[in-house]
């Protein structure tokens, strides 16, 4: 039977950008166009690494939230009902994590196909041509393996703590803190082929080596065996197979880093409006993209050491 098409979203859905990220984009513009710097390539971490870490960060927070909800559930006094409720909650969390993976994959594909067309300043065009002969840093593959080991060790350590009588509340709980965000709509300007948030001051981020968080560390990490089982699968997941690192030319998502990913987030409302998505799906994607902007805003991956 033929299904009637859903309403297609043709409007620009505004994507909120934290003020900190807008300042980093303004600084990026000045470094490239006024101070005549270029991004240091191949980047470490690269776009694919950052998106993988975003998904793992999202999964960790989602599962921690499920645990917190279940611990406060009024069903907890009924073991059978609670077991069914628990299974339902974890299934829902897995569905959300899978959507997050799909959004990350979509962002990577846009980077790979359109970085050279829409995300570069004029001064970067020659570097982009040369980047197609560059090999991604193989350390980025090794870092994924190290991340997998460190997270597994953290899980084992926390499991051992529970066996020795530590309750989940004694292990600590995290909370997602809301941040003020500013709408990005018409308040943008375009210079030399790249869009910047308008009226944003420049700040220096120093020369700290760019770093990303270690999964499995810090308060609020999920404690239950069910959550750990889900996280094991997330840690085994890769956005791209290792063989992509050996391709010639290598995909831009393995050569470029966080600042070009941030530039895409400014452009993406216009891109989404041309993809003939349903209104429901477009709004859902924007929700995950907003989480990605917050994740990027909190990472030290936009320092001046990323330029040369």
In a domain, 6, yes or no: no
Kindly tell me if the per-residue pLDDT of 3 is higher than 50.
Answer: no
| pLDDT given at position 176 | 37
In a domain, 34, yes or no: yes
Q: Is the dihedral of CA 129, 130, 135, 141 positive or negative?
A: negative
In a domain, 246, yes or no: yes
Kindly tell me if the per-residue pLDDT of 169 is higher than 80.
Answer: no
Q: Is the dihedral of CA 300, 303, 307, 308 positive or negative?
A: negative
Kindly tell me if the per-residue pLDDT of 183 is higher than 60.
Answer: no
Alpha-carbon distance of 162 to 159, in angstroms, equals: 5
Which segments of 114-265 are extended strands (E)?
188-191, 194-197
Kindly tell me if the per-residue pLDDT of 273 is higher than 70.
Answer: yes
Angle (CA) 194 270 9, round 5°: 175
Domain count for the chain: 1
Q: Which of 290, 295, 288 is nearest to 106 (CA)?
A: 288
Residues 260-284 have a mean pLDDT of 92
In a domain, 13, yes or no: no
**Number of residues assigned to the chain:** 308
| pLDDT given at position 24 | 92
Residue-wise pLDDT for 10-30, tens only, equals 777 889 899 999 999 999 999
Residues 295/54, Cβ–Cβ less than 8 Å? yes
Which band of pLDDT confidence, cut at 50, 70 and 90, is reported for residue 43? very high
**Residue carrying structure tokens 């505004």:** 14
Record the tokens describing residue 197, joined without a space.
């948030």
Q: Which of 239, 266, 236, 264 is nearest to 254 (CA)?
A: 239
Kindly tell me if the per-residue pLDDT of 60 is higher than 60.
Answer: yes
State the chain's mean pLDDT as an integer.
77
Record the tokens describing residue 216, joined without a space.
């499995």
Which band of pLDDT confidence, cut at 50, 70 and 90, is reported for residue 145? low
Q: Which residue has the higher pLDDT, 213 or 101?
A: 101
In a domain, 5, yes or no: no
Alpha-carbon distance of 235 to 215, in angstroms, equals: 9
Alpha-carbon distance of 115 to 112, in angstroms, equals: 6
In a domain, 247, yes or no: yes
| pLDDT given at position 143 | 60
| pLDDT given at position 140 | 72
Q: Which of 54, 114, 90, 113 is nearest to 290 (CA)?
A: 54
| pLDDT given at position 8 | 84
Record the tokens describing residue 187, joined without a space.
């308040």
| pLDDT given at position 219 | 56
How many CA within 13 A on the CB side of residue 41?
24
Q: Which domain holds residue 113?
A: 19-306
| pLDDT given at position 159 | 44
Question: Residue by residue, what is the 3-state secondary structure of 36-53?
Answer: CCCECCCCCCCHHHHHHH
Which band of pLDDT confidence, cut at 50, 70 and 90, is reported for residue 267? very high
Record the tokens describing residue 234, joined without a space.
């997330």
| pLDDT given at position 190 | 45
Which band of pLDDT confidence, cut at 50, 70 and 90, is reported for residue 201? very low
In a domain, 8, yes or no: no
Residues 199-219 have a mean pLDDT of 40
| pLDDT given at position 177 | 33
In a domain, 4, yes or no: no
Residues 97/234, Cβ–Cβ less than 8 Å? yes
Alpha-carbon distance of 97 to 230, in angstroms, equals: 10
Residue-wise pLDDT for 98-138, tens only, equals 999 999 999 999 999 999 999 999 999 999 999 999 999 88
Q: Give the CATH number of the domain where residue 287 resides.
A: 1.10.274.30
Lowest-confidence region among 191-195, 235-239, 299-303: 191-195
| pLDDT given at position 221 | 82
Residues 13/273, Cβ–Cβ less than 8 Å? yes
Question: Cα-Cα-Cα-Cα dihedral of 15, 20, 26, 31, to 10°?
Answer: -130
Residues 168-180 have a mean pLDDT of 35
**Residue carrying structure tokens 């609670």:** 82
């Amino acid at each position: 039977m033929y299904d009637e098409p859903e309403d297609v979203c043709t409007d620009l859905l505004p994507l909120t950008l934290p003020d900190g990220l807008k300042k980093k984009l303004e600084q990026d513009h000045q470094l490239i166009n006024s101070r005549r710097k270029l991004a240091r390539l191949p980047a470490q971490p690269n776009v694919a690494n950052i998106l993988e870490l975003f998904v793992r960060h999202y999964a960790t927070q989602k599962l921690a939230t499920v645990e917190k909800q279940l611990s406060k559930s009024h069903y907890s006094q009924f073991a059978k009902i609670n077991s069914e409720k628990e299974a339902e909650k974890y299934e829902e969390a897995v569905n959300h994590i899978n959507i997050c993976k799909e959004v990350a994959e979509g962002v990577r594909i846009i980077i790979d196909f359109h970085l050279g067309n829409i995300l570069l300043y004029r001064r970067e065009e020659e570097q982009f041509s040369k980047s197609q002969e560059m090999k991604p840093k193989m350390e980025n593959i090794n870092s994924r393996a190290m991340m997998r080991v460190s997270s597994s060790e953290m899980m084992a350590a926390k499991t051992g703590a529970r066996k020795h009588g530590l309750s989940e509340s004694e292990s600590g709980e995290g909370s997602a803190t809301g941040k003020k965000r500013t709408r990005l709509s018409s308040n943008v300007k375009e210079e030399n082929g790249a869009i910047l948030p308008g009226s944003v001051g420049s700040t220096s981020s120093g020369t700290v080596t760019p770093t990303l968080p270690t999964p499995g560390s810090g308060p609020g990490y999920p404690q239950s065996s069910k959550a750990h089982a889900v996280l094991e699968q997330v840690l085994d997941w890769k956005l791209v197979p290792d063989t992509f690192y050996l391709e010639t030319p290598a995909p831009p998502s393995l050569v470029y880093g966080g600042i070009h990913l941030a530039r895409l987030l400014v452009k993406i409302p216009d891109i989404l409006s041309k993809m003939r998505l349903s209104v429901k799906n477009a709004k859902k994607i924007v929700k995950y993209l907003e989480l990605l902007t917050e994740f990027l805003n909190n990472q030290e991956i936009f320092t001046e050491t990323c330029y040369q």
